[in-house]
Copies of this chain bind each other. A is one copy, B any other.
Amino acid sequence: MIDRSAATVAAIGEHALIERLERRVGRHPAWVVRGIGDDAALVEPPRGELDVLAADSLIEDVHFRRRWTAPADIGRKALAVNLSDLAAMGATPRACLLSLGLPADLPVRDFDSLLDGLLELAEASRSPLVGGNIARSPGPLVIDVTVLGSVRRRRALRRSGARPGDELYVTGVLGGALAGLRLLERGLDRGTATAGLLACLERYERPAPRLRTGRLVGRQGCASAAIDLSDGLADGVRQLAHASGVGAILMAAAVPADPGAVEAAGLLGRSPLDLAVAGGEDYELLFAVPRRRRGAFFASVGRAGEATATRIGSLTRASGVLIEVDGEQRELVASGFEHFGGRTWI
């Protein structure tokens, strides 16, 4: 018997690829009226809720490298970064679509793994794959995902809505993903790396969207604004403050650096704070919380059980975004964010 998974996608052709894809997609939840196999998918919206839509792509050699990251993790991440956008809106995922641009030399085995990685997260997050398309790419592997979610209108978390005096909270720890990326660039040997450094790679390659946290905080109405940290803390604070028409001040000492990033910082010749503030792709959430909602906020975050929340600053009446380091306030610089690739505009 021939192992067709050892061939390239060009060798087996698009019909065979589509069959492989369809075989991998399991049963749909009840709200998917029609999934793959028609001109478009039919999905039933929950009564009285809004549709929530986001699209984000991963492009080879811009957002990932095939020689660094396993295909399953690339596929998984393409969906994860989109689910993080739904989390930041307080939305519940309902479906996803996938557009693939495949280089001719991509092994079928990698195509299969990429789908398996994406579909595993699609199942875990209840966002079934309902459509999309496959085309060949004369250049990089391109993976574009669109997610559909839903949220009650008054429970949607936006970037705008925060007020002076609201407190700023971030989930989890920061800087791990950027440390992971820089370690990959330096050719870190996974075989001999410490647990802390491996955790940085894991943060970079397998981000965990904070879906339950976003949803529960949104439902309890305890945040005045929220954004996901795809482009890093500095960028997130600036975007949230700008959209809300307020200023912000961060306390550097309060910013929760990823323990792995702290360990990596020395190797990389950078400070842990620098990694935590400038580093993108951690996919944690940033919330603005009115003081009187603080208790309800912590209760929601605790109930979600995904990550702790840390208070890192406040929103201010003054314009501008400041950071206080060792008792001195300075402007948080605009060019502070770093990650591997492009920039999302929604």
Contacts and interface: CB of A to CB of B under 8 A. Distances in A.
A63 interface: yes
Interface stretch (A147-155, A199-207, A256-264, A294-302): A147-155
A63 B137 CA distance: 10
Given A133-B344, A343-B18, A344-B133, A50 B60 contact: no
Interface in A308-324: none
Nearest to A343: B14
A40 interface: yes
A18 B341 contact: no
Given A44-B51, A53-B148, A57-B142, 14 more contacts: A22-B345, A37-B159, A37-B243, A43-B50, A55-B144, A55-B146, A97-B146, A133-B344, A134-B342, A134-B344, A136-B342, A137-B140, A142-B142, A146-B146
Interface in A38-52: 38-45, 47, 50-52
Given A144-B99, A342-B134, A151 B42 contact: yes
Interface of A: 14-15, 18, 21-22, 33-34, 36-45, 47, 50-57, 59-63, 84-86, 88-89, 91, 95, 97-99, 101, 130-140, 142, 144, 146-149, 151, 153, 156, 158-160, 226-228, 243, 341-346
Listed from nearest, the 10 A-B pairs whose CB atoms lie closest are A139-B139, A135-B342, A131-B346, A40-B54, A39-B88, A146-B146, A55-B97, A144-B144, A18-B345, A39-B85
Contact of A144 (B45, B57, B140): B57
Nearest to A160: B38
B53 A97 contact: yes
A136 B341 contact: yes
A11 B164 CA distance: 37
B101 A142 contact: yes
A52 B41 contact: yes
Nearest to A46: B45
A91 B57 CA distance: 26
Given A38-B89, A40-B86, A346-B37, A62 B136 contact: yes
A33 B153 contact: yes
A50 B38 CA distance: 15
A216 to B, nearest CB: 17
Contacts of A38: 89, 158-160, 243, 346
B146 A56 contact: no
A62 B43 CA distance: 31
Nearest to A102: B342
A40 B52 contact: yes
Contacts of A98: 55
Nearest to A137: B59
Contacts of A18: 343, 345
